[in-house]
């Protein structure tokens, strides 16, 4: 006997905003961000231009399917694992002109619970949408949260927080914990994860790094993917739980702005010249040395889902407030007016 999937409509409320002009059907559109916010029990997604999504719940197995007509997606389907009851997020395409978003549930999830509390889709704007989960899915999400294990046995010799640095003697923020263990004690990963290193080779050093990755048995979890562009780069942002740029020197790192626009939490050095992010809680600060990178990453992976989402949300807000084209153009205009003697020095100009 053939069991065809049972489909349920996904109710949604369209909120039309005054003053927003319709985008011609011929204009290209694409998915910009797609996130599952476990702490707030909702899905959020944005597109480059306005879209009217279609949603449904399909059973056997249970999954939430959202189609974005007119939004193109190229390349293979992207799948990101979530947990036990809510198993994964998928981004692909239904047809050449329709992007499909899927939230997959475990086979034993009771889809009948959704009959009592159907999903509701809400438009924050014509290109920004959210779906608030009912209690049934919210409970499954919380049950899907992964926990971290201690990487080795031993007492905590220095907890997270302010301390006198054992080497410099200065009072500094300890961004992780120290565990006392004998030399040669086995160290375990606190949780599963993958590191993707994207970018160009630097002076032929990539081959040496690849050799060390192989010798340490890390080939399954550390990947040197090289330079990425376009849809491939966007897929990496959609899959990422964090973005790190331990740079010695930058002008204005566009990759940080791109990560923020996708609500990806950022870890970076002061030399990235985006120091305002640290005070706003939009990024974690590290130094370009092994100890600082290790300590900051150790702290980052122990943050709760809610705390990591907050960092990503603040990054997105910072981009919206300071780095959109109209804002940047206005700042340039103020600089030229000042140079021509038409106004005083703008506040965003620093004179040394």
Cα 341 to Cα 327: distance, rounded to the nearest angstrom: 21
Instruction: Quote the pLDDT of residue 317.
Output: 93
Please, what are the domains in the chain? 7-17+25-141 (2.60.40), 156-180+193-325 (3.40.50.2000)
Q: Are 28 and 99 in contact (CB under 8 A)?
A: no
Looking at residue 152, its pLDDT comes to 66
Q: In the prediction, which pLDDT does 138 show? A: 65
Q: Which residues of the chain have pLDDT under 50?
A: 1-27, 145-147
Both structure tokens of 352: 């040394």
The pLDDT tens digits of the residues spanning 202-252 come to: 777 788 888 887 887 777 778 888 888 888 888 888 888 899 999 999 989
What is the distance between the alpha carbons of residues 290 and 143, in angstroms, rounded to a whole number? 35
pLDDT value at position 10? 40
Collapsing DSSP states into helix, strand and coil, what is residue 19? coil
Please give the pLDDT value at position 28: 62
DSSP class of 76: S
pLDDT at position 158:
79
Q: What is the pLDDT of residue 343?
A: 93
Helix, strand, coil percentages, rounded to 5, for the chain:
25, 30, 45
């Amino acid at each position: 006997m053939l069991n065809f999937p049972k489909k349920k409509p996904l109710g949604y409320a369209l909120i039309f905003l005054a003053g927003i002009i319709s985008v011609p059907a011929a204009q290209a559109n694409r998915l910009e961000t797609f996130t599952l916010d476990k702490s707030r029990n909702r899905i959020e997604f944005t597109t480059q231009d306005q879209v009217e999504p279609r949603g449904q719940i399909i059973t056997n197995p249970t999954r939430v399917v959202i189609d974005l007509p007119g939004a193109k997606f190229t390349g293979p389907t992207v799948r990101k694992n979530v947990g036990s009851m809510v198993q994964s997020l998928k981004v692909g395409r239904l047809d050449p002109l329709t992007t499909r978003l899927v939230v997959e549930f475990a086979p034993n999830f009771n889809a009948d619970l959704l009959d009592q509390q159907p999903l509701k889709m809400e438009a924050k704007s014509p290109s920004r949408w959210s779906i608030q989960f009912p209690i049934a899915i919210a409970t499954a999400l919380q049950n899907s949260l992964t926990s971290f294990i201690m990487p080795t046995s031993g007492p905590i010799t220095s907890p997270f927080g302010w301390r006198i640095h054992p080497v410099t003697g200065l009072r500094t923020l300890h961004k992780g914990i120290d565990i006392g263990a004998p030399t040669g004690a086995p160290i375990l990963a606190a949780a599963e994860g993958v590191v993707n290193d994207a970018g160009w080779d630097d002076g032929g050093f990539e081959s040496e790094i690849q050799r060390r990755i192989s010798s340490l048995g890390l080939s399954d979890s550390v990947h040197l993917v090289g330079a990425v562009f376009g849809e491939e780069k966007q897929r990496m942002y959609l899959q990422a739980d964090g973005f790190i740029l331990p740079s010695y020197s930058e002008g204005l790192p566009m990759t940080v702005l791109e990560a923020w626009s996708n609500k990806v939490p950022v870890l970076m050095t002061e030399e990235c010249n985006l120091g305002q992010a640290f005070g706003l809680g939009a990024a974690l600060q590290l130094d370009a040395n092994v100890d600082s990178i290790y300590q900051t990453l150790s702290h980052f992976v122990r943050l709760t889902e809610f705390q990591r989402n907050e960092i990503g949300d603040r990054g997105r807000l910072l981009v919206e407030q300071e780095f959109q084209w109209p804002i940047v153009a206005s700042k340039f205009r103020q600089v030229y007016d000042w140079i021509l003697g038409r106004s005083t020095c703008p506040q965003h100009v620093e004179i040394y």
